[in-house]
Amino acid sequence: MKPLTVCAPLRVEARALRRGLRAASIPDTQVRVVRTGYGPARAAASAASIAASARGAGSQPGLAEPGPGMLAVGGVGGALSADLRVGDMVVASRVSDGSVTVECPSAPLLAGELRRAGLRVTTGPIATVDRLVRQGEQATLAATGAIAVDMESAPLLAAAAGGPAVVVRAISDTPAHPIISPRTVSGGIAALRSLRQAAPVLARWAAAVGPRQVLLASPRSFCAGVERAIEIVELALEQHGSPVYVRKQIVHNATVVADLERAGAIFVDELSEVPEGANVVFSAHGVSPEVRAEAERRNLATVDATCPLVAKVHAEARRFAADGYLVALIGHAGHEEVEGTLGEAPAAMALVESVADVARLRPADSGKVAYLMQTTLAADEASSIVNAIGDRFPAATGPGSDDICYATTNRQRAVRAIAAESDLVLVAGSANSSNSQRLVETAERAGTKAYLVDGAEDIQLSWLAGVSTVGIAAGASAPPAIVGQIVTALGGLGEVQTKDVVVATESVQFGLPKELRQRSGN
Ligand code: SF4
């Protein structure tokens, strides 16, 4: 493999990086640090020489190729954002000197890895300027969107010739603690310490570089129930203004929740946290009758975002319980959907999480046992429990139509299809998302390593080393944009060819609750 070239403008920066590499026993043949000189003119000259050397290498036996198209820039830099502190790392999402702008799409991958290495990291644009920034000039540069500034990165990136490249700058000065002279690195000790710590991470980034095929599981991301639930909160905010309270996470996804919080939604765990008379939305996972009764007692204006397919399971629970059945609910303890469904008929229901739990069922009449399921279960796992119930209670009866919903079933089929052809499967989704977790398990059962990630920053670079085909799936609560961000980030490591693997098409849509429909005119 070609070595990674790390450009360090100053001697102290090069020394810090080399020390970090030595401490991690990373040899020169894997990462070589090149001192490129202070300021844009020297940076441009160094970039030209690195590029020329890269073009010439390879034809000279015995000489290590300096790695055209795989380049890192590492050094100290000045903060433009007030949120940055001395010693923080900035990973450039793009670098611009005003005339040339270079994108660094793999920035989230490197940022996540640096964070896991214990550094405080921010990703954002870096501005390259041709002289030291004077007091008061930071605001003008910050207005361009840049969060940090340096004097070399833009010209140095020319040496990458459009190939994979990253820029990391350890903050040595901030608007509150300005630099005094080019040779005085104020806050330099903290910055150089961070740079040293970052050096081995650059080697991990280089090991993950390479062209890839990306297989996209389809269907993926939002289902009709999740789209409806998000729309309900947005419409409630539009119609009632902020705040609108939401009991529990509207859907189990950190990005969705953060976006709605920014729009004015307040997420609470219990109705006791909601002021008397306020507007409150029940999440897509459903609530028990007890919660509805409490809302009524507290005079809350409620809108129900329970997915109609969850509401269907609630109705089945009520029907079976009213007919005198013991209802075995196959699902996972503690999940909000399970709690809501069990709450429909607590005295007549029992949670069954495994085949072993079936032996513990104690029906008053063994001829009157029914089973229902959490909507987001893995189909193969649930069917073994259904078989065990049938073996023990031959007269057991189930729901009229499958409780595991169409979206769960389709996404599991899709992940199975990509897992068969992938070296690695990444599932976009949050850790508390049941259907996303089941996708990881489904891929693993198909024999492929799989990981759940909330976004590109969660992807560990070691997962990608030596991997040429990556499958990407997304849970029903994961925004489609996350998949796009992951593909873009992988594209920052080398050429990516994407292929959609379609196992089904979906056209399901659910109507809005009538209280919102009337006001919105839909
Ligand atoms: S995963 Fe299924 S049950 Fe859950 S919200 Fe989506 S459509 Fe409804």
> How much helix, strand and coil, in percent to the nearest 5, is found in the chain?
40, 20, 40
509 Cα to the center of ligand 1, angstroms: 11
| Position 67 pLDDT exceeds 50 | no
252 Cα to the center of ligand 1, angstroms: 11
φ and ψ of 13, to 5 deg:
-70, -45
Least confident stretch, 50-59, 123-132, 394-403? 50-59
| Position 136 pLDDT exceeds 80 | no
Q: Which residue has the higher pLDDT, 136 or 122?
A: 122
Residue 519 confidence (pLDDT): 60
Residue 323: which pLDDT band, with cuts at 50, 70 and 90? very high
Atom of ligand 1 nearest to the CA of 308: 8
44 Cα to the center of ligand 1, angstroms: 55
Query: What pLDDT digit, counting tens, does each position of 376-412 carry?
Result: 999 888 999 999 999 999 999 999 888 999 999 999 9
337 is catalytic: yes
φ and ψ of 14, to 5 deg:
-60, -40
Mean pLDDT, range 419-440, rounded to an integer: 97
Going by alpha carbons, the residue nearest to atom 8 of ligand 1 is 225
Residue 359: which pLDDT band, with cuts at 50, 70 and 90? very high
- Our mutation pick for probing the ligand 1 site, out of 408, 411, 430, 507, counting the most ligand atoms within 8 A of Cβ, is 408
3-class SS of residue 186: coil
Residue 180 confidence (pLDDT): 58
Query: What pLDDT digit, counting tens, does each position of 280-316 carry?
Result: 999 999 999 999 999 999 999 999 999 999 999 999 9
8 Cα to the center of ligand 1, angstroms: 51
Mean pLDDT, range 359-379, rounded to an integer: 96
| Position 68 pLDDT exceeds 50 | no
| Position 441 pLDDT exceeds 90 | yes
Percent of the chain with pLDDT over 90: 87
477 Cα to the center of ligand 1, angstroms: 9
Mean pLDDT, range 337-355, rounded to an integer: 97
Atom of ligand 1 nearest to the CA of 376: 1
Q: Which residue has the higher pLDDT, 134 or 229?
A: 229
| Position 66 pLDDT exceeds 90 | no
- Our mutation pick for probing the ligand 1 site, out of 249, 250, 310, counting the most ligand atoms within 8 A of Cβ, is 310
Mean pLDDT, range 250-278, rounded to an integer: 97
339 Cα to the center of ligand 1, angstroms: 16
Instruction: List ligand 1's pocket residues with C-beta within 6 A.
Output: 223-226, 284, 307, 309-310, 375-376, 405, 407-408, 435, 476
**Which of 296, 262, 288, 382 shows the shortest CA–CA distance to 332?**
382
Residue 139 confidence (pLDDT): 87
Atom of ligand 1 nearest to the CA of 408: 1
Atom of ligand 1 nearest to the CA of 435: 1
| Residue owning tokens 């150089």 | 192
- Strand-pairing partners, residue 426, are 451, 472
Going by alpha carbons, the residue nearest to atom 7 of ligand 1 is 225
Contact 166, 72 (CB under 8 A): yes
Residue 85: which pLDDT band, with cuts at 50, 70 and 90? very high
Residue 1: which pLDDT band, with cuts at 50, 70 and 90? low
For CA atoms 459, 465, 467, 468, give the dihedral sign. Answer: positive
Atom of ligand 1 nearest to the CA of 223: 6
Conformation bin of residue 477: beta by default, left when phi > 0, alpha when psi is -120 to 50: alpha
Going by alpha carbons, the residue nearest to atom 5 of ligand 1 is 225
Mean pLDDT, range 205-228, rounded to an integer: 97
Residue 521 confidence (pLDDT): 56
Q: Tokens for 196?
A: 């040293």
Kindly report the average pLDDT of the chain as a whole number: 93
Q: For residue 266, which amino acid is it?
A: I
Q: Which residue has the higher pLDDT, 180 or 373?
A: 373
For the chain, how many residues are written? Answer: 522
98 Cα to the center of ligand 1, angstroms: 47
| Other residues' Cβ atoms within 10 Å of the Cβ of residue 278 | 17
- Our mutation pick for probing the ligand 1 site, out of 233, 307, 313, counting the most ligand atoms within 8 A of Cβ, is 307
Residue 379 confidence (pLDDT): 87
3-class SS of residue 443: helix
Query: What pLDDT digit, counting tens, does each position of 446-470 carry?
Result: 999 999 999 999 999 999 999 999 9
Going by alpha carbons, the residue nearest to atom 2 of ligand 1 is 405
Mean pLDDT, range 5-15, rounded to an integer: 96
Residue 59 confidence (pLDDT): 43
Q: For residue 40, which amino acid is it?
A: P
Catalytic residue chosen out of the listed positions 316, 337, 344, 457: 337
Mean pLDDT, range 490-496, rounded to an integer: 97
Atom of ligand 1 nearest to the CA of 225: 5
Contact 344, 314 (CB under 8 A): yes
| Position 56 pLDDT exceeds 70 | no
